[in-house]
Chain A
Amino acid sequence: MRAKASTAPLHPTVVLWTAVGLIGFVLLPWYGLRDNFFTLSWLFDGYPFDDNVAPALFLVLQGQKLWLAPLGILLLAPLLLWRRKKADPYFGHLLIAVGAAGFAYLMLQGFGIGLRGFQWSWLTALFGELDDRQFGMGWGALLVSGAFLFLCTLGLAGRGAVGGDEFVVGSIGFIVAVVGIFIFMPIVQMLGSALVTQDGNYSLGVFFAKLFSSRLWGLGCVSGGPRCGVAWNSLFLAVLVGLLTTALGLVFALVVTRTGFRYGSLLRALTILPIITPPFVIGLAIILLFGLSGVITQGFSDLFGLQPTRWVYGLPGLLIAQVLAFTPIAFLVMIGVVEGVSPSMEEAAQTLRASRWQTFVTVSLPLMRPGLANAFLLGFIESMADFGNPLVLGGNFDVLSTEIFFAIVGAQYDQAQAAILAIVLLFFTLAAFYAQRFWLGQKSYTTVSGKGDSGIHPHLPATFRNAIYAIAGLWTLFTLLIYVTIFYGSFVKQWGVDFSLTFDHYVESFAVGWNQFGIHWRGAAWSSFWTTMEIALISAPLTAAIGLLTAYLLVRQNFRGKDAFEFGAMLSFAIPGTVIGVSYVIAFNVPPIELTGTGIILVLSFIFRNMPVGVRAGIASMSQIDRSLDESSLTLGANSWQTFRKVVLPLLRPAILAALIYSFVRAMTAISAIIFLVSAQYNMSTSYIVGRVENNEYGIAIAYSAVLIGVMLAVIGLMQLAVGRRNIGRRHMETDLSQSRTNVGVAGAG
């Protein structure tokens, strides 16, 4: 054994978490504060005796919230491990018991005691009526629950879970706990609230009546009626968008890889545009072009003397906008697929006397089939989840995501109706997600493996090539037209009425002045802009960290229940933002976790919405790093935390950068979840812009969108500089590793 004798009488990790727990119990305010914790103003508000800021210990000593007392006793229990080794069975058993009991008790008291005494009648039966109420938990409760969680995982490690590795077991426990609390719990609570009727009773009958109502599933449009059910609308749109984006994605991928097209990198650059474009901005541009007063509509009506119509509002407009927005995602998937088809397969087909066209149809295309399905499902999920475009372009064509919104914010305020709509939406996206994962498998769409695939892809036959050039060219021009419209539109006085150029919109939103306090952010947009930057900058590193940690556990560690763990971690990719938004509103509006109206809930929603992006980036680049690097670090005496920090993380720089950029950008562009969560104090750019659109102030909305796009480009550039690139030669590693290409599906905006 290595000569690293630990002589401390109490295991250092036990000391750490017991201390953290005791600080939370004895020193920090137990319940949530009205002000920001870090301003420390609570120290002067009667701390430690005033109820609002008192730590749990002082509450109990003053005879209040007596149910917190057992937590303190449990926190002292680890001291019984004095002079016991980690290998001692007693060590593990005691910590598991203390941790699990403490955590469970904390949850029980949190949910068991509500705003009006006990939540559950059996508790009342047991203890009698409780004349007290619950408040939202605060920093003290947070530290104590963390301490119990990690004491429990330490105990599990002591009993030999995952090779007895404290860091790994702790990380698994942490991820499971946060995913459980911030993804599963809100969804479950939302499901529960779907059963509640308007008068507060539970009713299955009402639930089923609403679930199968004709509002959702009606087939009026087929039988000649005015409209179809919302669910059919969503499904129809999503299937169309999935098919079209996949076809266009394939066309672009073929142009880049199979035609000898020289400006492929330009096309690739175009794919970054929709990622940094807030989703509804495309819809706005469509309105500017094809709307009632749109330039193209007006042009046509002048030319042919037709009456301009509102044809674009509804299915046609939505289809155009979503295909524009999501084609680049399909392109990114398809380019990996098309490149992944082994050239030697195609060369073999050609030596067997197949013509280029026959090779393409009989060999290349069948090999791409799983990739095509993958691109279709991605487009399907994105379209289902899209909220911004239907909001600005939907017209009378209602889809699930906007219906949910109007059920919550509209005059009806029907939480149960929103929850039921969310369940239907969730059903569709989860079905697609499930199909993507289990029907397609994960590695099926690469055929390049091992060495010796040095051939080159054959070019397409000339007629086919010209056809796809034409399609790709037209679509590219159209995309450029959209962005030119946005840019130009931000300088136009009033679109459709007065096309004279002006800076008015920018001045109105982003004017800066001076007053006696220094800079005065006079523009109307500044407040939401700074909030957005702050929230995005806080959530980006957290998202990257939690995503990469999860990726590390998935790629590098083996433990029981790993499949379920992976499914849970990636699940939020399939949960549409509107569903997250509704479920957060339902779950975090009341104690024990009371977060609505704070900035924290925005940060949390971004972390858990965008976590799969970090996980994917991490998995993709971690599988490029040979496992023997970790193992050699372990045999050299580093523990798994040191290995993670000194070996894995430095090699993951590109993945860290990717995860940071994606989560930052998605936090800037997201609309669907946060439109439910913003408050007067914490308003975000996107919801501010949507508000302007609803007031028909298109000028400001477009100007603001253009600024956002510019800022995101700048921030991406800066982050690239900040994370830096150290030129790491990995020559021999690259040849050693199996060269399976990984396709990182890109989670889009929503």
Chain B
Amino acid sequence: MAEIKSNAASVEFRNVTKVYGKSKVPAVNDISLFIEAGNLVTLLGPSGCGKTTTLRMIAGLELATSGQILIGGADVTRLPATDRDVSMVFQSYALFPHMTVRENVEYGLKFSGFSKKDTADKAKAGLELVGLGGFGDRLPSQLSGGQQQRVAVARALVLEPQVLLFDEPLSNLDAKLRRHVREEIREIQQNLGLTVVYVTHDQEEALAVSDRIIVMNNAVIAQDGTPRDLYDAPSSAFVADFIGEANIFDCRITDVAKDVATVELGPLSLKLPARDQRPGPARLAVRPGRIELGSAGAPRTLPGTLHKVTYVGSHLEFVVDTEFGAVFAISTTVDAQFEAGQKVGVGFCEHGPVLLTG
């Protein structure tokens, strides 16, 4: 019985730039990154940020305008898709409608010099791996969306590629199925130890599946880190706002000692990790869930007026008017008695506020 193995390899970009045709604005501007073998790394960002272009350059579907791309340490910058050991799962799945599921999965194997028997065995193993062992003779049109998506994964997996690419693989599935399929993808990736590069614009999906997330914006990398890094210590207002939601405050650093900054925000004085910031004007970000609403005038709070209270089932959402602008907060204690127009004190949890570096 054939088994699907992994030939995971690293991916490296060195100062890669991509300019389309006669356009003057680069789609990807001088980015460098390194993806370790066996990791699942997500490229995350708003549409048009260059994440799909980056993915397609790894695949070889686009060739870099300048810079170097290495897969498994070998320079593949000028190699076209056909000659790279990379497979891709497309957003539309791109299953060949005139071939059965089995023919689809065998398609790439036929060009890889496997014998007829190996091809058949591997295809069978691949289909079983994604739980579609009995579906080989069907046409793609006879499968549901989730099943088609799994065929696409199997088709890419059986080639045992050095790198497996996913281009927004879940965007055509409904919400419940999405969670289920993303867990399956993560499980297969971890069991086989694959190098996976995954593109999405859904931040929750990115946080859930990734070993590491590369956030892109305006053709450059905005931040690169583990899901926890990105959520807890965003470097810029863009990242803080793109991943989850954040309140951004203008503040002032009065003093920095031993990597601890003393920050003044209105009446409050906060001790925060300095993150290499110097004394002077600065900005900090606070997640809505890390804001506590207390009674007006309580110590260590900002005075504010409750502008809006919204009940959304699992939690309450507040908008509080303060002298620093509107503050968005949420509370899971849905039974608390709050009313619009009420005076409140806005307080921060420990590890709540983070200084922005960008």
Contacts and interface: CB of A to CB of B under 8 A. Distances in A.
Contact of A165 (B71, B80, B113): B80
Contacts of A736: 92, 172
Interface in B94-116: 94, 96-98, 107-108, 111-113
A632 B111 contact: no
Interface stretch (A285-293, A638-646, A742-750): A638-646
Contacts, number: 111
B141 A732 contact: yes
Given A636-B111, A651-B98, A731 B141 contact: yes
In this complex, the interface size class of chain B, counting residues with CB under 8 Å from chain A, is 35 or more
Contact of A631 (B90, B139, B140, B152): B90
B81 A635 contact: yes
Contact of B94 (A626, A642, A730): A626
Given A163-B63, A732-B145, A638 B82 contact: yes
B82 A640 contact: yes
Contacts of A636: 87, 107-108, 111, 155-156, 159
A2 B85 contact: yes
A733 to B, nearest CB: 6
Interface residues of A, number: 36
A34 interface: no
A728 B97 contact: yes
B92 A637 contact: no
Given A2-B85, A731-B141, A637 B111 contact: yes
18 contacts: A1-B71, A1-B79, A2-B85, A2-B112, A4-B83, A629-B94, A631-B59, A631-B90, A632-B94, A635-B81, A635-B87, A636-B107, A636-B111, A637-B112, A640-B82, A728-B98, A730-B141, A733-B92
B33 interface: no
A409 interface: no
A424 interface: no
Given A4-B113, A634-B82, A637-B108, A733 B61 contact: no
A63 B32 CA distance: 65
Contacts of A647: 96
Contacts of B76: 1
Nearest to B75: A1
A736 B93 CA distance: 10
B74 A1 contact: yes
Given A163-B63, A629-B96, A637 B78 contact: no
B142 A729 contact: yes
A638 B96 contact: no
A160 interface: yes
A726 interface: yes
A714 B201 CA distance: 55
Interface string A617-636: 00000000010110111111
B78 A638 contact: no
Contact of A637 (B97, B140, B159): B159
Given A632-B90, A728-B98, A730-B141, A163 B111 contact: no
Q: Across chains A and B, which 5 residue pairs bring their CB atoms closest together, nearest first? A: A729-B141, A636-B108, A628-B94, A632-B94, A634-B81
A87 interface: yes
Given A87-B78, A730-B97, A732-B141, A633 B107 contact: yes
A81 B242 CA distance: 55
Given A558-B21, A634-B82, 8 more contacts: A628-B90, A631-B59, A635-B61, A635-B81, A638-B107, A728-B98, A729-B97, A729-B140
Given A730-B97, A732-B145, A732-B148, A163 B80 contact: yes
B91 interface: yes
A117 interface: no
A631 B165 CA distance: 13
Which of B21, B82, B90, B148 has the most chain A CB atoms closer than 10 A to its own CB?
Answer: B82
A366 interface: no
A164 interface: yes
Nearest to B96: A647
B207 interface: no
Contacts of B108: 636-638
A498 B83 CA distance: 76
Given A629-B96, A631-B94, A639 B148 contact: no
A70 interface: no
Interface string A510-546: 0000000000000000000000000000000000000
Given A87-B78, A736-B92, A631 B61 contact: yes
A180 interface: no
A651 B148 CA distance: 19
